[in-house]
Amino acid sequence: MPSDEITEAVAAIDERAGVTVLDDLYLDEERGRWVVKIRLRPDDLADHSEVPRETDWYLHLRDTFPAGSIGIYPADQDANTITATFAHQKLNVAGSEDTPWRKGDICVARYGHTLNQTGATGEPSTGTDRLCWHMDRALQWLRNAAQGELREPDEPFEIPAFNTADAQGPTLAFNESRESFDDWVDVYGQWGTVALYSVPTAEETYVTDVFTDDDGEVVYEPDWGGYIESEMDDAVCGAWALLDQVPIDPPWEAPETWRDLEDFFEETATDPYTLRANIKPVLEEESVKILLIGFPIPAQVGNEPELIYWQPSEIEEFKDPQDVGHRSTGQGQCRAARIVAGREQIRWLEANNWSHDQLIRRGHMDEWFLDRTIVLIGAGALGSMVAENLVRAGCQQLTIVDSDTYEIGNVSRHTLSLDDVGRNKATMLADRLQSVAPYVQAVDVDTAFPPSGEMPASISDAEVVIDCSASRVVRRALDRERWDHRVVFCSAAMGRRANRLFCFTAYSHTFPYTDYEEAFSLWRLQEQIEWDDETDAVPERIGCWHPASVIRTDRVMTWAGTVTRLLDNATGLTLGETDFTVLETSGDDEVPTVSEATPPFQDVTTWEAATSPVTVQVPEKCREAMFERCRQDHPCETGGILAGIDREDDPALLINAQEPPPDSIQEPTKFLRGTDKVEDWLRDARESLGIDYLGEWHYHPAAPPDISLDDRKAMNEIAADDGYDCPHPLLFIVGQDDTQEFAVNAYLFHRDNDYEQLYRMSDRPDDTGEAGTDGKTV
C-alpha cells in the first residue's frame, strides 16, 4: 500500500485546476516506483502541432516520498500525448515494451533558469505542497513548450539529447576550449581524420589526438597532460566533419538517421553521403569505425558560439557499391552510400569534454595559479595532500621534490598506496597526480633540496614554490637561491600535535628567511614547551624506539585544504611583502573548532499571541524598511504587503516589507493598497526565493497604532479570499506615540472573522485574558 503522504498528495492534485487523476495508484515493483496516470489541461495553451490541448502522463513517486525525485513521463500509446522531444526534457523515445509511458521525463524542478526562473526554485518539502508545485510547473512547461519559450536568451545552453541508448562502442573524450575554438572557425563544412587512442578507464574510452584535414594538414592538436600522453594505447584512425550549426530539428530533436543529417550539410562543401564515401578507405579496416560530427555551441542561449562540441557516431560497416548495383568508382560509392545509409539509424556514442576549463568548473583556485609552474618541496603527509588539492583545483604544472622513500608507516596519513611502498615519494606522487586529471603535467626531482649541481629547469623556472618539508635546512637553502623573476613562496608546516598550522607566504625573488624566523621564533618556543615530555609520541612500531607523532589523517586534510586557501590570498601580496598566519584548533578528543559565519536574521524581534502558540519573527532590517517608508510618505498614510515564510513548528519569519504599489491611494487619513505588479512580484518571490504572502502593513501618521473597523474588514476579506492563499494573514500597524516615536501593534486574522493581537515577547501581558489596546479580548 502507498503511504498516507502519497495518497493524500495524489488526491490533492486531483483537485488542482488543469490536473485530472485518471487511474488508481499502483506499484511498479521492478523500478520501485508508485505510478499514477494523470491528464494535464493547462489554460491559455497556444496552438502547437506537437502539444495537444490535453495530454496524458504517468507520474512516478518514490516510496520515500515526499523525499526523492518525481518523474513526469508522457503516455506512450495514447492519442493525447507528446512524442517529440523539447528542451528541458529527456530524450522522448518510446519506453520499454512493458511500460505504458515514454522516456521523455520533463525537467521542471532544476535549479537555475528552467521555466524562466532564476536562482533557487523554492521547491516545497512537504508531500502535498511538493507534488502540487510540480504539477503547477508541469502545466507551465506545457504552456512554454507550445509557445516556443522553453529556451530563453542568456540561460545556459543545453546540448540536445542524442540517442545513445543502443550504443555499443566506446565513450569518446575530446579536449576543446575557448582557445581551441579559434583553430576551427575557418574549417566549417570540412572533414578530415583524427587519431584516437584508448586510455585505461573502467569503461572503454578513446581520446582525441591530432586532427588533420583531407589534405593531411594538421588543424588542431589537443594539449593533454602526462597521464594521457603516457597511457595512450591501441591507436585507431577516426574521421571528423564540422558543421556550422547545431544539428537540431524543432522542437529540440537531434538527427536519428543519415537522411536527417542532409539539411545540416546543405550549406557546406559536402553532404553526408559523399562524406561516407570519402572516409570509407580511412575507416574500413579499423576495429572500431568512429566518425565525429562537430558543431559550435555557445555558453548561453542566443550568444555567439565559443566551443566546438564533438558528437561521435559508430559506423557498423560500409556496404560494397556492387551489392546495391553500383560500380566501385567515386560516384558509385556516393550513390551506394545514399541508398544504404539514407535509411540507416545513426549509432550515436557517448562523449565528454575533458578539457581543463571544463573539468574545473565545479571549483578551482584563483585563476592566477592555474597556468603557473609550481614546485612543491616535501612529499610527505601534508605535502602530498596539498599537491592533490592543487591539481584537483585546476593547477596543471607541478614539480615534486623529495629524496625520501615511501614506507609502510606512511599509509596512515598519505595519498600514496601499498603499490608505492619502497619507492621514491616524489616519483610516485608525480605519477599519482597525473592520474588525477587529464590536464596535469607533473615531474619528479628525487633528491633532497637543494639538488647538487645545476638547478633543474623545472625548479629554476618556477613561479610558485611551496615548502611542506618542515625543514630549516630547506628554508635556508631557499634563502640562498635567487630567481630571475618574482616568485610566490609558501612555507607551511603543522605543529607537532597538528593542532596548529603555520603558513608563511611571500612575494619576492628569494625566500625571506630572516622574516620567517622573526615571525616563527616565539611559536617554535611554544611548540617546544608543549612537546617537552613527549607524551604525544609513540614508538614507530613495537620493537622500535624511534618516536612517531600521533596525528590523524583528517587533521592533515583540514590543514592541507587551508594551505591552498591561504595560497589564494597570496596573490594580493606586493613585491617584498610577507604574511604569516597561525591557525589553531581544539584537542584530538574534540570536534575541531571552526569559525562560524554569522547566521542570518539574528537581529529579530519576536511577536507572539497571548492565548495561542502563534509566533512571528521580524528582522530589524524589515522593521526599519517600514519606518523609512513612513518617514518618506509622512504625513500621508502608507503601507504594503508582507512576505516571508511560515515555518510550521518554528516561528514565521518576515523577509520583506514591500513599498506601496504605484497605484495605491495615499492620503493623510486614508490608505488603499494598490495591486499593480503585486501578483507578479509574489509569484517571482515564491518561485525564486520560496517566500509567500503573509499579510499587510500600514502607517497611521501622528496617531496610535490602533486597529480600525476598516482595517478589520479589509483583513477579514483577505483571510477569506482564496486568491491570497493565506487564511491567517498578519497586519502590522505603525503609529506614533506621544513623543512622536514610531510604535507598532501586530495582529493575526483568521478565516472565521476572528483575530488576535500579537505582543513582543518582552511585552506579553501576564493575564492571558487581558484586553488589547483596541479593547478586544484576546
Can you give the pLDDT at residue 333? Answer: 63
Q: Do 346 and 398 belong to one domain?
A: no
Q: Do 577 and 679 belong to one domain?
A: no
Can you give the pLDDT at residue 502? Answer: 92
Using the predicted structure, report yes or no on whether residue 332 has a pLDDT greater than 70.
no
pLDDT greater at residue 371 or residue 764? 371
Query: Which of 500-514, 535-549, 601-615, 647-661 is predicted most confidently?
Result: 500-514
Domain count for the chain: 4
Tell me the average pLDDT across 634-647: 91
pTM reported for the whole predicted model: 0.77
User: How many residues are listed for the chain in this entry?
Assistant: 778
Among 304, 333, 358, which residue terminates a domain?
Answer: 358
d(CA 730, CA 724): 12
Q: Do 548 and 626 belong to one domain?
A: no
pLDDT greater at residue 440 or residue 497? 440
State the CB neighbour count (10 A cutoff) for residue 742: 16
Q: Do 325 and 429 belong to one domain?
A: no
Q: Do 339 and 230 belong to one domain?
A: yes
Q: Do 266 and 376 belong to one domain?
A: no
Helices (H), 316-471: 330-341, 356-359, 367-370, 381-392, 425-436, 457-460
Tell me the average pLDDT across 231-250: 92
Among 553, 584, 615, which residue terminates a domain?
Answer: 584
pLDDT greater at residue 445 or residue 591? 445
Has residue 770 been placed in a domain? Answer: no
Has residue 306 been placed in a domain? Answer: yes
Using the predicted structure, report yes or no on whether residue 592 has a pLDDT greater than 70.
no
- pLDDT single digits (tens) 170-208: 999 999 999 999 999 989 999 999 999 999 888 899 999
Has residue 319 been placed in a domain? Answer: yes
Given phi > 0 = left and psi -120 to 50 = alpha, else beta, which region is 261?
A: alpha
Q: Do 143 and 114 belong to one domain?
A: yes
- pLDDT single digits (tens) 645-689: 887 777 888 988 999 999 999 999 999 999 998 888 888 887 766
Can you give the pLDDT at residue 125? Answer: 83
Among 93, 114, 147, which residue terminates a domain?
Answer: 147
d(CA 647, CA 604): 15
| Least confidently predicted of 165-169, 404-408, 597-601 | 597-601
- pLDDT single digits (tens) 436-477: 999 999 999 999 999 998 999 999 999 999 999 999 999 999
How confident is the prediction for the chain on average, in pLDDT?
88
CA atoms within 13 A on the CB side of 3: 13
Can you give the pLDDT at residue 525? Answer: 65
Has residue 598 been placed in a domain? Answer: no
d(CA 139, CA 470): 63
pLDDT greater at residue 354 or residue 542? 354
Tell me the average pLDDT across 404-429: 94
Q: Do 558 and 651 belong to one domain?
A: no
Cα-to-chain-centroid distance, residue 603: 31
d(CA 312, CA 240): 9
Tell me the average pLDDT across 626-645: 94
pLDDT category at 353 given cuts 50, 70, 90 is very high
pLDDT category at 119 given cuts 50, 70, 90 is very low
Using the predicted structure, report yes or no on whether residue 595 has a pLDDT greater than 60.
no
Q: Do 282 and 304 belong to one domain?
A: yes
CATH number for the domain harbouring residue 660:
3.40.140.10
Q: Do 238 and 123 belong to one domain?
A: no
Query: Could you list the residue range(s) of the whole structural domain that residue 619 is in?
Result: 604-763
Using the predicted structure, report yes or no on whether residue 413 has a pLDDT greater than 60.
yes
The CA–CA distances, whole Å, from 269 to 187, 190, 242 equal 11, 7, 11
Q: Do 401 and 437 belong to one domain?
A: yes
CATH number for the domain harbouring residue 400:
3.40.50.720
Has residue 732 been placed in a domain? Answer: yes
pLDDT category at 267 given cuts 50, 70, 90 is confident
Using the predicted structure, report yes or no on whether residue 551 has a pLDDT greater than 90.
no
The CA–CA distances, whole Å, from 592 to 498, 536, 584, 589, 760 equal 11, 18, 9, 9, 38
Q: Do 430 and 327 belong to one domain?
A: no
Amino acid occupying residue 439: Y
Has residue 113 been placed in a domain? Answer: yes
Can you give the pLDDT at residue 359? Answer: 95
With a CB cutoff of 8 Å and minimum separation 6, the contacts of 338 are 273
Strands 665-667 and 652-657: unpaired
pLDDT greater at residue 343 or residue 626? 626
Helices (H), 571-677: 620-633
Can you give the pLDDT at residue 197? Answer: 95
Has residue 34 been placed in a domain? Answer: yes
Report the percentage of the chain scoring pLDDT > 70.
88
Has residue 365 been placed in a domain? Answer: no
d(CA 650, CA 615): 8
Using the predicted structure, report yes or no on whether residue 594 has a pLDDT greater than 80.
no
- pLDDT single digits (tens) 697-732: 999 998 999 999 999 999 999 999 888 889 899 999
The CA–CA distances, whole Å, from 670 to 266, 665, 666, 731 equal 69, 7, 6, 16
Task: Write out the three cell numbers for 457.
Answer: 629547469
Using the predicted structure, report yes or no on whether residue 118 has a pLDDT greater than 50.
no
Using the predicted structure, report yes or no on whether residue 327 has a pLDDT greater than 60.
no
pLDDT greater at residue 616 or residue 115? 616
Task: Write out the three cell numbers for 525.
Answer: 618556543
pLDDT category at 75 given cuts 50, 70, 90 is very high
- pLDDT single digits (tens) 728-754: 999 999 998 878 899 999 999 988 878
**φ, ψ dihedrals at 87, nearest 5°:** -65, 155
d(CA 292, CA 236): 13
pLDDT greater at residue 524 or residue 575? 575
Can you give the pLDDT at residue 770? Answer: 37
